[in-house]
Amino acid sequence: MRREWEPEELIAAWTLLDGDWELVGNKTGATRLGFGLMLKFFEQEGRFPRHVGELPKAAVDYMAGQVKVEPALLAEYDWSGRSIERHRA
């Protein structure tokens, strides 16, 4: 995953669309942000990120604005366990 993104590229690649909102809408806080990022990462890379460090900061900030969650809350997203397994499914 590349690290540098132009504003137009962020919009094209990381914007949640109608169907995405159906999946993200019932989640809150760190889970909402993490799930949205995993969804869009998968669309681009064909796999899920293994850890938070794979997510570009610009994408985290952009997604956080969309889902109205502070970007710092991503640190609370659980990268192991049953929740992330359900999200990947």
Express each pLDDT in 27-75 by its tens digit.
Answer: 899 999 999 999 999 999 999 998 889 999 999 999 999 999 999 999 9
Q: What CA–CA distance (Å, rounded) separates 29 from 12?
A: 24
Q: Which residue has the higher pLDDT, 15 or 50?
A: 15
Q: Locate tokens 């990022």: which residue? A: 37
- Report the alpha-carbon distance of residue 73 to residue 69 in Å, rounded: 7
Residue 83, judged by CB atoms within 10 A of its CB (0-12, 13-18, 19+), counts as: middle
Q: Contact 33/67 with Cβ under 8 angstroms?
A: yes
Question: How high is the pLDDT of residue 48?
Answer: 92
The structure's pTM equals: 0.88
Domain boundaries, given as residue ranges, for the chain: 7-88
Tokens of 81: 């366990």
35 φ, ψ (degrees, to nearest 5): -65, -45
Q: Does the pLDDT of residue 82 top 90, yes or no?
A: no
pLDDT at 12 over 90: yes
Give me the pLDDT at residue 72, please: 95
pLDDT at 86: 79
